[in-house]
Structure 1
Amino acid sequence: MILVACKSRSSEKKSGTLAGFSSYYNTLFNSKDALETELRSRKSAYVDNFYAPYIPLLQYDEQPLGAEIGDASFFGDNPSFVPKGTGSSKSASVLQISEAKALKAINKYSVLKDGEEKNRQMFNAHLLLAQSRLYMNKPLEALEALNYIFSNMKKDKRINLARIYQAQAYAKMKNYYRANEIFLALKNEDLKSEYQKLYTVYYSEMLLAAGKKEEAASQLDEAFSSNKNRELRSRIAFLRGQILANLGRNEEARESFITAYKFSNDFEFEVKSQIEIAKTFNGASDDYEGAKKYLEDISRKGTYASRKNEFYYALGLMANKAGKTEDAQEFFNKAKSEKVSDPQIRGLTFYEIGKFYADRNDYISAGAYYDSALAVMSYEPSKQDLTSISKNIKDVSRNYYLIKKNDSILALSKMPEQEKRAFFNKYIEGIKAKEAMAEAEKKKSERNKGFDTGDYDANSVFANSRGNNFQDFGNITGGKSGFYFANSNTVSKGQSEFRQIWGNRSLVDDWRFSSRSASIEDVRNEALGLETVQNPRRFEPEFYIEKLPTDALQLQALKKDRDTASLGLGRMYENYFSDTELATKTLYDLVDANPEQDVKLQALYRIFAMNYEKNPAAAERAKAMILSEFPYTSYAEFVKNPKSTGFSKSTTDVEKLYTDAFNLYTQEKYSESQALITQAIEKYPKDALVPKFTLLNAFNTGKTAGKEIMILQLEQLALSYPKTSEGIKAAQMLQYLKSDLQMVPTDEAGNQTGFPGPGRPENAGPVSQKERSQIGRPESNGDN
């Protein structure tokens, strides 16, 4: 130490031994300490997010000397990282200190001679520099630090550790190909055991990030064997289970989750492992009763009892998979009645109940539970997905209940007077029974209520304490201290305030889902147009009969609204839920109800468009009806040849057919030209000349059926083949045909020609003067 202190600071030549000693115990030590401090802070703030697709793996204490900092993805941009109060500016400053100290050690103590670094501590310095930069999400700069090692410390025995971090840096840059190359090269190296642990974990995460799930699951097996730490092994098994479940390999996934449960030393991990095990339940072959008994038993044991709501949720999922729908709903209802231990689980429980109602077309109930789920969910991606579903459910609900309401009104309006009276008498009997039941419940509640008016404050252990900070509700009116509900004035005031905010509410679950209605039943009745207020005449059939419309215009308007809602509902079933079968049935029911012509045509078109590839048999009836009832529309053209992007190269036979059809058009034989075009399209639906046939057919239609029908066919052409020259030309022509402008085609000299034509194939021969006068000059841009 005396020698070091007295040594002159010469920049000529530094002793590698002394420089290494000094760098490690001073600047380099400070760099490492700063980085470890940051890691400890991050780890203490970290909370696993079990609702992200995959959990991260690494814990920093399982990495080798010089690499004990951990994986950047674990604390960096991984979606599963949930910080608790770790400020980004503070974190960045600590990492910047680590980086600065490492750079200072490198600048001050590096001993580079003849292209070789003599100070072995510079390996750790550059590795710390690379790690700090990885944590700051600067992988390119991290590679720069590592490249110094590869260039100037090639013979260092720790070079493979630098290679592992090099691959990790490429993975952070999403250059998975280069990262995989490095990992594969290292596979053949004789790695130290501590390096092997890090290698298997990093490689597994890289493969997963690259989308190679099968390979990632296999590599995780190696990671599990290489790492002996219980906590890390539990995480490896859990992640492997998530991947296998995602791949549909439920049996193997279950084994992995069981292993994660056995090795876990974290209570949260144990509970979530049990839930994942339940998710892998196979209703067809697994023992439902045995699994059910196991989860019910474990939910009553010790600290697990505090997570009953989560175990009930798992039991509900399992019952659903076993086809035990009633059991599932019972478990989900139990789950939402228990104390909340995880807001996300509570939200998912509400979602499952809502889904049950949505599957049964009870959209009012489904929407209410979805709203409850959104109010408590904590995982943002799930909330975003459910927000979209909830909005769709509300859209469907509006149409669904409008259809039911109008159908009921229309059906009742057609009934004879005697049947109407019988119907409403039965309805009135139901109201009486419901009100009698409600009254009995109210009397029972009143009998059991009985407020205690005893003066507990006098005998309270706090009676002589003036330090009591609880509000003394009893002194509001100047009386003695007492229990809140024992004072009629405070109770009355509280009830009044409650009614002002929430209105009259029934004592039921989810009472807050609506600001206006007391129950889901009330909302459903409101949507169906049923009376929810106790009107004095509610027991008179005439009260309801008088409300039924009798005017023909009113009934017609009701039917039109009903038909429009049915059309929208059919679209929603397909667009929102991909339920083509239900959408098709809904739209065919609409067609059979004889709606207005435009609604009928739209419904038929939707049926055909949804089914012509999936279910041709269901589409055939719609196609036939469009062709017979709406032959001159763009929809008729569509059903003849649904839009296709898979065109094949045109053949000589097809080109000849087009030339013949074109010549017939120029000879004013429009019907014959149309017949030839129809024949060609049906025989060669994927030929490259189909768009030209379609355009030529539009011109034929313009001559035979008029401008309006031609516009419809041009619209369909522009819709079906928007990127072809014919589709572009159709769109341009529509701008003129739909406006008040008059299109005047001219030749190259500026002389007026006829109406622009559809164009001809290359071998169609020269254009005659007659053709010019009929359809204008041919295309000359080489796109024939």
Structure 2
Amino acid sequence: MAFVTQSCSRKKDTFVSRNFHALGTKYNILYNGDIALQRGIDGVNDAFTENFWELLPVERMEISEDIFLPGQSKNADFERAEEKAIKAVQKHGMNINGREKNPQIDEAYLLLGKARYYDQRFVPALAAFNNILNKYPTSDKINQVKIWREKTNMRLNNDEVAIKKLKRLLEEEEGNIEGQDLADASAALAQAYINTKSKDSALAQLAVAAENTKIKREKARYHFIRGQLYNEFKKKDSANIEFDAIIDMHRQIPRAFYINAHLEKSYNHDALDGDDIEFQEYLTELEENRENRPFLDKIYYRIAEYHRNKASDSLAEAYYNKSLRKTTSDKHLRALSYETLGNMYFDRNIYKTAGAYYDSTMTAMVENSKPFRIIKKKRENLDDVIYYKGVAVTNDSILKMISLPKEEQLAIYSVYTEQLKQQALEEEKRKAEELEKRSSQTTISNNGIDAKNPRSGISQKGSPGEFASKSKSISPVGNNKSSFYFYNPTTVAYGKNEFLRIWGDRKLQDNWRLSNQRAGINNAVRKDVVTTNTTDDKRYDPETYLASLPTKQTEIDSIAKERNFAYYQLGIIYKEKFKELELSKSRFEDLLESNPEDRLILPSKYNLYKIYIELGLNTKAEAMKADIIANYPESRYAEILLNPESELTKDENSPEVIYTKLYKKFDNQEYQAVIAEAETQIKRLEGDDFLPKFEILKTSAKGRLYGFEEYKKGIDYIALTYPNTEEGRKAQDLLQNAIPALAKKEFVPDDKPKNFNVIYQFQKGSGEDIDTFIKTLDEEIEKKIKYFDLTTSKDVYDENTTFVVVHGLKSIQGASGFAQLLESDEKDKRGKPVKPKITKEYFAISSPNYTIIQRHKNLNAYLKLE
């Protein structure tokens, strides 16, 4: 044993030592490490989902964004492979006089690098590959190591370095590198070219890789990527050659490549010059092939696309829905189908259904991605059109009904209620037939009746009374002590009711269980019940609907006003958001024919003028322009039409500029001026998209000046008047979430807050100079109060009161004794203390309570607490 141990020492360069450690490394440690590595690679491949909608990566591997600490591994198999590689180096390395004598150690380092590469620890992997290149330059795996090093460089975004070194490898080893090594090098170089947007150069390298690899799965991948690249270059014939190469491999490759090659080839079909009948047969064959069942979602989608391109919308819609019913994990395909269906309904102006499809589209998309945001924006725009279209249709129907004579109204509602009755009778009949069917198939299992052999068990002759006599006894409810069924009237009555419920009113005859005939009286009773129900139900009485029609002129005017506003909003939405100019034109024209309010007439005419210009209806456009200038010469729109290039029109008189100036006044607490100017602009800009902004600015100014109740009233008005604008939605959110919290007006005890203020009141018309007071106050604070960081502000309380506020005091005691803080030890020439310059009365208040009095204008309530 001692001799063998000594002979196999790692420190002796003998034939026995070298081969002992080489064999142990190769057939034990590295063998198990390679198994673990392959198991990990298989797991990576299984976890990777091919996205045939985009250019495929050359290597099947998904990069994870998860961050791991040093020493942590993402995959236990790769961790085991790495451990085996390290063990091989540590236990069997024979570094003697600076040279490695174990020929398997370079294999161990290669295994180490691969394990780290697949575990996505690319920097340590690069170190392992560089170690081989530095220490084992004569290794028979040197070309593989160089390829793996450059693959790692690409993962580290060093694509230019990888291209340079891979090209050098292919040039220097030309004729020596071949087979799988040549395929791997060419494939890696192709990916580097793709990464650097040199896709034409990638084509040649992928051709070399496809030709030299012996792995069918890789060959199919390289051909597919070449086909995708040719499609990008609009070379359909060359692309089809690549897809045909994949199709020829058939069952030698994964079915996904085979099917997607067919589908990609089908997308290259020339709809104009190609044989349409042959192409339809081609798609039908793909659909009917049983082996293609796992891919029917994509096949149905392709057939749907074919029919849609042929303008066969009904067939296209049917196949899109078939694709959706088959779709499993392909979210991109599901999103495409939903979006296409949504677009189809959108193009037909069926916006409510389109909106539902867009909702489904977003569930299959990556949230906050660019496509997701586009669909979300489109869906939000649909909310407006769905709402206003519903208002317009409903109010149009009401107004049309009101305009008819009462006799016609009654006739229309009579037809409607008769339809409702008929539907109710048909529904009742359907339920009765279902019950009859269930009754005819019912078997009494407790008595041994066989549904397939009705003559088995109980005899079917006799009367229905035999059923009751042979039934099991039901627990008596009364006080009758006898257990015999017919001696207990309660159980007898219960049994009769149960019999009628299950069997109906059966005639006294043989084979009564199999009979589908019930006694006529039962059906008559059932019919009478339905008739009675439909007669008594007010839904079936035309007078109910007549009574619900508005009769007061104020109500009718309100409905017409709401309908007209909906018309106006639809016209704006169609024009600005959807670019549906014809629809927008019809809405505005309908509005102007419906005797609208004055505030809607001018903006509608101006929008019609713009639409006529875009549609090329120049005669109508000129007539509308002349109308606006003649009838509204002082309006902003007339100014724009007369001076379209005017800088005043574009800038100073635009809503944006006016709003900006008004907001500055708001910041300066000029609330009364803001309210007055906002009201002027609201009247002037009626119908403009900027109008809600002026409304909310006016409401904010009223809240600051008049308090919470005015603010709440204004927010409620905005939410109701502009429900489908951004401002309206914000107002609705404020009503639900912020207003309840702002409504609280209870004062906070002074022992809880950490910040306090001193308030000086100034009344309007008192003649006191507030700005001079503030200047003096600031000077005194800076000179006499050194240990507080105090600031002052001028805050409007209401129309008649302005506050000068000192901020920064930390206790109620310090705030209450603020006058003492302003006193100094200075004395005049006679030795008397200098009188303080600030002698005005004040009161102290905590910051939370100051917020409450400003919000609710309840200053008097707070002063009474003091």
Q: TM-score, normalised by structure 1?
A: 0.56
Partner of 2:288, secondary structure, is: coil
Please list, as runs of the form range in 1=range in 2, the aligned pairs for 1:148-187 lying within 5 A after superposition: 148-156=131-139, 158-187=141-170
Q: Distance in 2 between matches of 1:225 and 1:713?
A: 78
Compute the displacement of 1:362 (Å). 2.6
Q: What's the offset of the Cα at 1:129?
A: 1.9
2:34 partner letter: K
- Provide closer, same or farther for how the CA distance between residues 713 and 268 of structure 1 changes in structure 2, counting only shifts above 3 A: farther
Match of residue 34 from structure 2: 32
Q: Distance in 2 between matches of 1:254 and 1:450?
A: 63
How has the CA–CA distance of structure 1 residues 579 and 270 changed in structure 2, closer, same or farther, with 3 Å as cutoff?
A: farther
Partner of 1:295: 283
How far apart in 2 are the matches of 1:90 and 1:183?
Answer: 29
1:135 aligns with: 118
- Stretches of structure 2 that go unaligned for 5 or more consecutive residues are 67-71, 453-470, 474-496, 503-533, 666-672, 682-699, 706-761, 765-769, 777-866
Instruction: Work out whether residues 233 and 263 of structure 1, in 8 Å CA contact, stay in contact via their aligned partners in 2.
Output: no
Counterpart of 2:209? 223
Distance change >3 Å, CA 11–CA 269, structure 1 → 2: same
Kept in 2, the 8 Å contact 1:601–1:626? The answer is: yes
Partner residue of 2:751? Answer: none
> CA contact under 8 A between 2:574 and 2:580: conserved in structure 1?
yes
Question: What is the match of residue 315 of structure 1?
Answer: 303
Cα distance change of structure 1 residues 128 and 434 upon mapping to structure 2, 3 Å threshold: same
> CA, structure 1 residues 263+451, in 2 after alignment: closer, same or farther (shift >3 Å)?
farther
Counterpart CA distance in 2 for 1:438 and 1:12 is: 98
In the other structure, the counterpart of 2:314 is 326
Q: Is the 8 A contact 1:131 1:142 kept in 2?
A: yes
Identify the residue that residue 54 of structure 2 maps to in structure 1. Answer: 53
Counterpart residue type for residue 221 of structure 2: R
> Which amino acid is the alignment partner of residue 548 of structure 1?
L
CA distance in 2 between partners of 1:327 and 1:343 (Å): 22
For residue 386 of structure 1, report the CA deviation from its aligned partner.
11
The whole-number CA distance in structure 2 between the counterparts of 1:195 and 1:158 is: 10
Query: Which residue number corresponds to residue 262 of structure 1?
Result: 248
Tell me, in whole angstroms, the C-alpha distance in 2 between the residues paired with 1:14 and 1:635. Answer: 105
* Cα displacement (A) at 1:6: 2.7
What are the Cα deviations for residues 332-359 of structure 1, in whole angstroms up to 9, with x where unaligned?
466678x788786778666655553343
Q: Percent identity?
A: 21
Equivalent AA in structure 2 for residue 547 of structure 1:
S
Note the alpha carbon deviations across 1:254-302, whole angstroms, 9 max, x for none. Answer: 5544443332424454444444444445544443332222332443344
Once residues 680 and 641 of structure 2 are traced to their aligned partners in structure 1, the CA distance between those partners, rounded to angstroms, is 9
Q: CA shift at 1:163, angstroms?
A: 2.7
CA distance in 2, matches of 1:447, 1:269: 55
**1:188 aligned counterpart, secondary structure:** helix
Cα distance, 1:165 vs. partner? Answer: 1.8
Contact 2:625 2:641 in 1 (8 A): no
Decide which structure has the larger Cα Rg and report it: 2
In 2 relative to 1, CA 357–294 (structure 1 residues): closer, same or farther, beyond 3 Å?
same
Give the superposition deviation at 1:137. 1.3
Contact 1:244–1:253 (Cα < 8 Å) also in 2: yes
- Displacement of 1:194: 1.3
Cα shift at 1:151: 3.1
Q: CA deviation at 1:233?
A: 2.6
Deviation of 1:95 (Å): 1.4
The more displaced of 419-428 and 283-292 is 419-428
Q: How does 1:16-415 map to 2 (within 5 A)?
A: 17-18=18-19, 20=22, 22-43=24-45, 45-46=46-47, 48-50=49-51, 53-56=54-57, 58=59, 74=61, 76-77=63-64, 92-107=75-90, 109=92, 120-156=103-139, 158-189=141-172, 190=174, 191-209=177-195, 216=202, 219-242=205-228, 253=239, 255-265=241-251, 266-304=254-292, 311-332=299-320, 353-366=341-354, 388=376, 396-414=385-403
* Corresponding residue of 2:789: none
Residues 38, 94 of structure 1: 8 Å contact kept: yes
SS of 1:299's partner is: helix
Q: Contact between 1:567 and 1:587, CA under 8 Å: does it hold in 2?
A: yes
| Conserved 8 A contact 1:282-1:321 | no
Letter in 2 for 1:36: Q
C-alpha distance after superposition, 1:620-651 (max 9, x if no partner): 99999999979898999999999xxxxxxxxx
Moved more, 254-263 or 416-425: 416-425
Q: Deviations over 1:377-412 (max 9, x none)?
A: 799999978994777756653443233223333444
Count of residues in Structure 1 that have an aligned counterpart in Structure 2: 596
Structure 2 matches for 1:586-601, cutoff 5 A? 592=592
CA change 1:354–1:429 in 2 (3 A) is: farther
Name the amino acid aligned to 1:322. K
Closer/same/farther in 2, CA of residues 297 and 34 from structure 1, 3 Å limit: closer
Matched residue type, 1:34? A
Q: 312-321 or 134-143: which moved more?
A: 312-321
Paired AA for residue 40 in structure 1: D
Q: Kindly indicate whether the alpha-carbon contact (under 8 Å) linking 1:370 and 1:390 is maintained by their aligned counterparts in 2.
A: yes
Is the 8 Å Cα contact of residues 587 and 604 (structure 1) preserved in structure 2? no
Letter in 2 for 1:226: N
Measured at CA, do residues 611 and 42 of structure 1 come closer, stay the same or move farther in structure 2, by a change above 3 Å? farther
- Partner of 1:665 in structure 2? none
Instruction: Note the alpha carbon deviations across 1:117-176, whole angstroms, 9 max, x for none.
Output: 665534323322221111121112222222223433445464332232222212222343
Give the Cα separation in 2 of the matches to 1:223 and 1:163.
17
Contact 2:10 2:94 in 1 (8 A): no
Contact 1:14 1:111 in 2 (8 A): no
8 Å CA contact 1:370–1:386 kept in 2: the answer is no
- Of 301-310 and 397-406, deviating more is 301-310
Distance 1:147 1:13 in 2: 26
Cα pair distance change 1:268/1:10, threshold 3 Å = closer
Letter in 2 for 1:143: L
Moved more, 554-563 or 620-629: 620-629
Rounded Cα–Cα distance in structure 2 between residues aligned with 1:145 and 1:22:
21
**Distance of aligned partners of 1:37 and 1:438 in 2 relative to their CA distance in 1, 3 Å threshold:** same
Note the C-alpha offset of 1:537.
Answer: 5.5
Q: Per-residue deviation at 1:236?
A: 3.0
2:282 & 2:156 partners in 1: Cα distance? Answer: 46
Q: Is this contact kept in 1: 2:413–2:542, CA < 8 A?
A: yes
Of the structure 1 ranges 304-313 and 438-447, higher mean CA displacement relative to structure 2 is found in: 438-447
Per-residue CA deviations over 1:581-604 (Å, capped at 9, x if unaligned) read 578658856985787788889989
Distance, in Å, in 2 between the alignment partners of 1:609 and 1:123 is: 77
Deviations 1:173-220 (A, max 9, x none): 234343344344445342322112112333344444555555555644
Maintained 8 Å contact 2:112/2:128: yes
Structure 1 contact 300–308 (Cα < 8 Å) conserved: no
CA distance in 2, matches of 1:248, 1:559: 56
Aligned-partner residue type, residue 238 of structure 1:
F
- Give the corresponding residue for 1:647: none
How many Å separate the matches in 1 of 2:320 and 2:634?
Answer: 54
Q: What residue in structure 2 maps to residue 6 of structure 1?
A: 6
Stretch deviating more after TM superposition (32-41 or 541-550): 541-550
Letter of the 2:189 partner, please give it. Y
Q: How do residues 695-774 of structure 1 correspond to structure 2 at under 5 angstroms?
A: none
Structure 1: which 5+ residue stretches go unaligned? 59-70, 80-88, 461-476, 480-487, 494-532, 643-674, 683-690, 700-705, 715-734, 751-784
What is the CA distance between 1:4 and its match in structure 2? 6.6
Between 1:605-614 and 1:105-114, the stretch displaced more is 605-614
